[in-house]
Structure 1
Amino acid sequence: MASPPISELTNRARDIFRLVVEDYLESGQPVGSKTLATRSEVNLSPASIRSVLSELESFGLLAAPHTSAGRMPTDLGLRLFVDGIMQVAEPTAAERAAIEAQLGAPGPIEAALENTSALLSNLSGAAGMVMVPQREARLAQINLVPLDQTRALAVLVGEDGHVENRVLELDTPASASAMQEASNYISARLAGRTLSEAAKAIQAEISSGRTALDDASKRLIENGIATWSEDAAKRPVLIVRGASNLIDDSALNDLDRVRQLLDDLENKQSVAELLDSAREAESTRIFIGAENRLFALSGSSVIAAPYRDREGRVVGVLGVIGPTRLNYARVVPMVDFTAHSLGKRIG
């Protein structure tokens, strides 16, 4: 059933509808005619308000969960509100500065992605989600630094100046000179390649015997390539933080829905596919309740936005998931701004 255009509602019906939705999003409780009658901007009797509520219910915009329990917006009603009535509340200057400061902190990109997911969770009071970029940085240099007899630190420097540290476990102890030789050998063959591209070329050289490396340096490089390849394969497609926020006081009245939502979040591949559908969006996309099949049973909403590198290429998607009574007016622009901020960090 399609919702009626907002222009088809009378001014009175539109005002009542807006109040019901706003009160519901704030409290999570159905809104009754007596409550609405106490609002200063409503100059109607409870009987007149009930008549308007019935009309809105006939349009499929409101529903009464129980007899005489007041009304709450349907998924259809929330869609109409979000698309035609809602006035977004842009992040304040202080909020923007805090987001940019947290995402702009130096460190590996994985830390920035973790921070973004946690940040979205804190801002929305729901769960934050970030898809790991589906690309590898092009590297300029690799340095191997001994930590102890069985471990070395690999310092990977990207063409964009980004620095990433990874710990490399050693099968046999390696001298500082072997690590230096291995570092020089790998760096000379990076030449703007990704780590996987360089690893393939280096492995081919070593396998064909076309190198002058000593055995210690050769073992070190082969060990590093194996470790890095395995590490890349194990990286999560999706980072979810703040799922505990979904179990608040209001959730205690609807534990089955929350349990279903938490089960859905365990299926990270399906969640990632849902987020991936927002990759081509110009800005933030909103999936409300049954509009997406994955979260139809849990009655949840997803707000998602793509984030881009400095060349405008989409490298991932981030967003939040929570009950359909999310504060859309605040969360939508917050997600959009966070996506822009992360894009600057990705470079």
Structure 2
Amino acid sequence: MASLPISELTTRARDIFRLVVEGYLATGQPVGSKTLAGTGLNLSPASIRSVLHELEGLGLLAAPHTSAGRMPTDLGLRLFVDGMMQVAEPTLEERAAIERQVAQPGPIEAALAATSAVLSDLSACAGVVMVPRREQRLAQLQLVPLSPTRVLAVMVGVDGGVENRVVDLPLGVAPGTLEQASNYISAHLAGRSLSEAVRAIRAEIATGRTALDAAGCDLVERGLAVWSEDAARRPVLIVRGQANLLDESVLTDLERVRLLLDDLENKQSVADLLDSAREAEATRIFIGAENRLFALSGSSVIASPYRDREGRVVGVVGVIGPTRLNYARLVPMVDFTAQSLGKLIA
């Protein structure tokens, strides 16, 4: 059922509809006619009930049971979000908390995980970030001996990130070979991506254009390949704060809890959903049954693409929570987080 324009509602119906939605989003409970009568509407309870019945007939409100008040349907929430919601910009404290996590030194995945965690804390939802599909570019690689058969490969990326991996070595590699291989990588392969570096060193070895001996060539290939293989295994999605989704209303429905956790465990499906927000010009909102992934668990997703410094979309950041999210607060918060991440991505 398509959402009708808000302009098709009477002023009286719009006022009552807005009060029901705002009351439900604030408390998570259905809103009754007696509560509405005390909000200054200057209408009798009978008149209010008549409007509530009209809104229910339009598919905008529903009653969980006969004697309860009304709560918005997914269709009603969509109408409210698109036509009535007034957003509230993040506070200075919220902005500072997000920017601190985005700006922390180290590998970009660590900053993304920290950003997802702080977004989860601020929103009381699950925070999600899609990892950029990119390869690290080399600034320097040092090979440090640990034992006769093991070496620590320390890679410094052009973004300042530092990562360590342990590489197994054949017996008999001379200490000078480690230094020679490290200097060769730093001098000849700096600025290249991992795959570019591997292709270049193999081409030089194949044509005999390298000054390295056989042991040095083998060592360089081992040091580079460990990251090339690792990059292919990196997660496409970082999720933090799943426990925030288990509020009291969810805990009364164990099947819903199971479905929700199953949804989040399938990170590829969540990533596919977020991927549909990559081409959006602004923050996208998926409410309840609007997306099949979270339809049964009754959850909503707010997602915004983030871009690199050249304006290319490289990932998506967002929050997942119950349909009664504080959309007015969270939409600009997710948008601000996307903008902050964009400053991090080279």
Name the residue aligned to 2:126.
Answer: 127
Name the residue aligned to 1:100.
Answer: 99
Q: Tell me, yes or no, if structure 1 residue 152 matches structure 2 residue 152.
A: yes
Give the 5 Å matches for 1:1-347: 1-39=1-39, 41-146=40-145, 150-158=150-158, 161-172=159-170, 176-207=175-206, 209-347=208-346
CA contact (8 A) 1:147 1:153 kept: no
Query: Counterpart of 2:29 in 1: which secondary structure?
Result: coil
Name the amino acid aligned to 1:271: V
Name the amino acid aligned to 2:280: A
CA contact (8 A) 1:189 1:202 kept: no
CA contact (8 A) 2:135 2:231 kept: no
Name the amino acid aligned to 1:33: S
Extract structure 1 runs of 4+ deviating beyond 6 A.
none
Q: 1:294 to 1:205 in 2, by over 3 A?
A: same
CA contact (8 A) 2:308 2:345 kept: yes
Superposed displacement of residue 284, structure 1: 0.5
CA contact (8 A) 2:141 2:154 kept: yes
CA contact (8 A) 1:3 1:59 kept: no
Partners of 1:62 and 1:189 lie apart in 2 by: 66
Partners of 1:134 and 1:233 lie apart in 2 by: 10
Query: Counterpart of 1:142 in 2: which secondary structure?
Result: strand
RMSD: 1.8
Partners of 1:270 and 1:253 lie apart in 2 by: 26
Partners of 2:140 and 2:280 lie apart in 1 by: 35
Superposed displacement of residue 45, structure 1: 2.0
Q: 1:109 to 1:30 in 2, by over 3 A?
A: same
CA contact (8 A) 1:37 1:44 kept: yes
Query: Which has the larger displacement, 223-232 or 128-137?
Result: 223-232
Q: 1:175 to 1:62 in 2, by over 3 A?
A: farther
User: Percent identity over the alignment?
Assistant: 73
Query: Counterpart of 2:320 in 1: which secondary structure?
Result: strand
Q: 1:263 to 1:180 in 2, by over 3 A?
A: same
Output one character per residue of 1:159-193: Cα deviation in whole Å (capped at 9) or x when no partner.
xx433222233334765532221122222332532
Partners of 2:220 and 2:74 lie apart in 1 by: 56
Q: 1:146 to 1:35 in 2, by over 3 A?
A: farther
CA contact (8 A) 1:64 1:70 kept: yes
Name the amino acid aligned to 1:62: L
CA contact (8 A) 1:189 1:198 kept: no
CA contact (8 A) 2:165 2:226 kept: no
Partners of 1:333 and 1:269 lie apart in 2 by: 26
Partners of 1:270 and 1:81 lie apart in 2 by: 27
Structure 2 unpaired stretches of 5+? none
Output one character per residue of 1:23-52: Cα deviation in whole Å (capped at 9) or x when no partner.
11122111111122222x322222111111
Name the amino acid aligned to 1:227: V
Superposed displacement of residue 322, structure 1: 1.1
Name the amino acid aligned to 1:218: C
